[in-house]
Amino acid sequence: MESAESSGSPTGGQPAGPQVDKGAPKGGNTKKYVFMVVFPFVLVMMLVGIYAGSMHAPTPRDLPVAVTGTAEQAQPLADSLNATGGSPVEVRVVATADEARQLVHDREIAGALALPAQGSDDAVLYTAQAAGAAQVQMVQSVFQPVADAQQLTLEQQDIAPLPASDGMGVTTLFTAIGWMLAGYMLVTVLTSGAPELLPLRRLVPLLAGWSALVSALVWVIVGPLIGAIDGHVLPVLGLGWLSVFAVGLGQTLFARLLGPLAVVPGIALFMFLGVPASNIMMSIHSVPGFFGFLHHVLPLPAAGETLRSILYFGGDGVGPHLLVLAAWAVVGLALTAGVDLLRRRTSRGPDEAADTPSSSPAGSPDAQGALTSA
User: Per-residue pLDDT tens for 321-366?
Assistant: 999 999 999 999 999 999 999 999 988 755 554 444 343 434 344 4
Please state, in angstroms and rounded to a whole number, the distance separating the CA atoms of residues 167 and 226.
13
Please tell me the predicted confidence (pLDDT) of residue 347: 82
Q: Which residue has the higher pLDDT, 20 or 69?
A: 69
Q: What is the mean pLDDT of residues 261-266?
A: 92
Angle at which helix 171-193 crosses helix 233-258, to 10 degrees, equals 40
Please tell me the predicted confidence (pLDDT) of residue 227: 93
Please tell me the predicted confidence (pLDDT) of residue 119: 74
DSSP 229: S
**Please, which pLDDT band fits residue 218 given cuts at 50, 70 and 90?**
very high
Instruction: Tell me which H or E stretch contains 371.
Output: helix 365-373
Residue 372 CB contacts under 8 Å (≥ 6 apart), including other chains: none
Q: What is the mean pLDDT of residues 135-161?
A: 93
Q: What is the mean pLDDT of residues 170-190?
A: 96
pLDDT at 18 > cutoff 60:
no
Please state, in angstroms and rounded to a whole number, the distance separating the CA atoms of residues 179 and 239.
9
Most confident range (mean pLDDT) of 15-19, 143-147, 159-163, 328-332 is 328-332
> Around 138, how many Cα atoms within 13 Å sit in the side-chain half-sphere?
26
Please tell me the predicted confidence (pLDDT) of residue 357: 39
Please state, in angstroms and rounded to a whole number, the distance separating the CA atoms of residues 163 and 111.
19
DSSP 251: H
Most confident range (mean pLDDT) of 14-28, 56-70, 290-304, 338-352 is 290-304
Contact 78, 67 (CB under 8 A): yes
Q: What is the mean pLDDT of residues 144-149?
A: 92
pLDDT in tens, 87-144: 999 999 999 999 999 999 999 999 999 999 887 889 999 999 999 999 999 999 999 9
pLDDT at 275 > cutoff 60:
yes
Burial of 93 (0-12, 13-18, 19+ CB in 10 A): middle
**Please, which pLDDT band fits residue 27 given cuts at 50, 70 and 90?**
low
What is the average pLDDT score of the chain? 86
Please tell me the predicted confidence (pLDDT) of residue 334: 97
Q: Bridge-partner residues for 154, per DSSP?
A: 123
Please state, in angstroms and rounded to a whole number, the distance separating the CA atoms of residues 369 and 374.
8
Give the 3-state secondary structure of 41-56. HHHHHHHHHHHHHHHC
pLDDT-wise least confident of 29-38, 243-252, 314-323: 29-38
DSSP string, 315-363: TTT-HHHHHHHHHHHHHHHHHHHHHHHHHHHHHS-TTTGGGSGGGS-TT
Please tell me the predicted confidence (pLDDT) of residue 28: 55
Cβ count within 10 A of residue 180 = 28
Please tell me the predicted confidence (pLDDT) of residue 205: 97
CATH number of 63-161: 3.40.190
Please tell me the predicted confidence (pLDDT) of residue 117: 84
Domain ranges of the chain: 63-161, 166-347
Name the pTM for this structure. Answer: 0.82
DSSP 278: G
